Amino acid sequence: MGIPALPATGQTRRLHRLDRAVLAVNRALMIIALAGMAVLIFANVLLRYLAHDGLVWAEEVSRYLMLWMTFLGIGPVLRLGGHMAVDTLQQKLSPGGARAVRGIIVALLAAFMAYFIYLGVIYAGRTWVQATAITEIPFSFVAGAVPVGFALALWHLCAIACGFIAEGRLETSADLDPEQAASL
């Protein structure tokens, strides 16, 4: 991944290692969620035709896995520039002007994410008494994807904020081609 070498003070190096670990766990959880969804739905189809019986909970659980994958993905996708945006204005502006615009974008994003952590916590709290239709777990376990996802997104935003504001730089990885994400 295109990470610039950091000054080798103990503090920043520890932070950098922590950041790598957060990203790795975040990515692994997304992989598990997608693989889990695919296996559950496929197993359900097979069971229906081979054993004339389905897993009643498979559909519900895989829908919730998809929700978690989506909200867990906000941050990692942001790091790689995978949320499509129109950057024509930044290209037309002077370097200083473009930096100012990117500063505003980061500030707005941070405020938005922080507000949604707050809204998500309230929402998850309110749905503690509300059970899901089939598995009958508290809906909070599903709604929790919102505050957790936005909290991780805020972490990932902080990780790229300096490089992005200064030079419009994002990370690159084989996990995502921003051009591909931009034109589905």
The site for other proteins (CB under 8 A) is made up of: 27, 30-31, 33-35, 37-38, 41-42, 44-45, 59, 62-64, 66-67, 69-74, 76-78, 80, 82-90, 101-102, 104-105, 108-109, 112, 115-116, 119-120, 122-123, 126, 142-143, 145-146, 174-177, 179-184
For the bound state, the minimum distance from the C-beta of residue 43 to other proteins, rounded and expressed in Å, comes to 10
Nearer to other proteins, 13 or 126 (CB): 126
Q: Let me know if 143 is exposed, middle or buried by CB neighbors in 10 A (0-12, 13-18, 19+).
A: buried
SS3 per-residue string spanning 155-184:
HHHHHHHHHHHHHCCCCCECCECHHHHHCC
Nearer to other proteins, 12 or 130 (CB): 130
For the bound state, the minimum distance from the C-beta of residue 18 to other proteins, rounded and expressed in Å, comes to 21
Nearer to other proteins, 119 or 162 (CB): 119
For the bound state, the minimum distance from the C-beta of residue 10 to other proteins, rounded and expressed in Å, comes to 31
Name the DSSP letter for residue 131.
B
Continuous H helices in 10-139? 10-50, 58-79, 88-92, 95-126
Nearer to other proteins, 19 or 44 (CB): 44
For the bound state, the minimum distance from the C-beta of residue 126 to other proteins, rounded and expressed in Å, comes to 7
Nearer to other proteins, 6 or 122 (CB): 122
Q: Which of 67, 86, 78 is nearest to 147 (CA)?
A: 67
Q: Let me know if 67 is exposed, middle or buried by CB neighbors in 10 A (0-12, 13-18, 19+).
A: middle
Contact indicator for 51, 128 with CB cutoff of 8 Å: no
Nearer to other proteins, 15 or 107 (CB): 107
For the bound state, the minimum distance from the C-beta of residue 63 to other proteins, rounded and expressed in Å, comes to 6
For the bound state, the minimum distance from the C-beta of residue 103 to other proteins, rounded and expressed in Å, comes to 11
Query: What are the backbone dihedrals phi and psi of residue 55, each rounded to the nearest 5 degrees, phi first?
Result: -90, 110
